[in-house]
Amino acid sequence: MNWLQDSSWHYCWRLPSDVTLHGPRRHPIELMYLWPAKGEAIFYHNVGLS
């Protein structure tokens, strides 16, 4: 991860639904509540994982 961040590359992770994300909201949210519709993709910026 450090290498990716230092290299200024863009990257995307595919994660299982039970991962909890920490973003600008006050409370973390499980990934399964953010799933896009079938055939679509959504990219979230500036999130942390727990």
Which among 1, 2, 48 is positioned nearest to 25, based on CA atoms?
48
The pLDDT-based confidence of 46 (bands split at 50, 70, 90) is confident
Q: Could you give the 3-state DSSP secondary structure of residue 5?
A: helix
Question: Residue range 30-48: average pLDDT?
Answer: 81
CA 13 to chain centre: 7
Torsion angles phi and psi, residue 38, rounded to 5: -55, 130
The pLDDT-based confidence of 50 (bands split at 50, 70, 90) is low
Average confidence score pLDDT of the chain:
78
pLDDT exceeds cutoff 70 at 49: no
Question: Residue range 12-34: average pLDDT?
Answer: 80
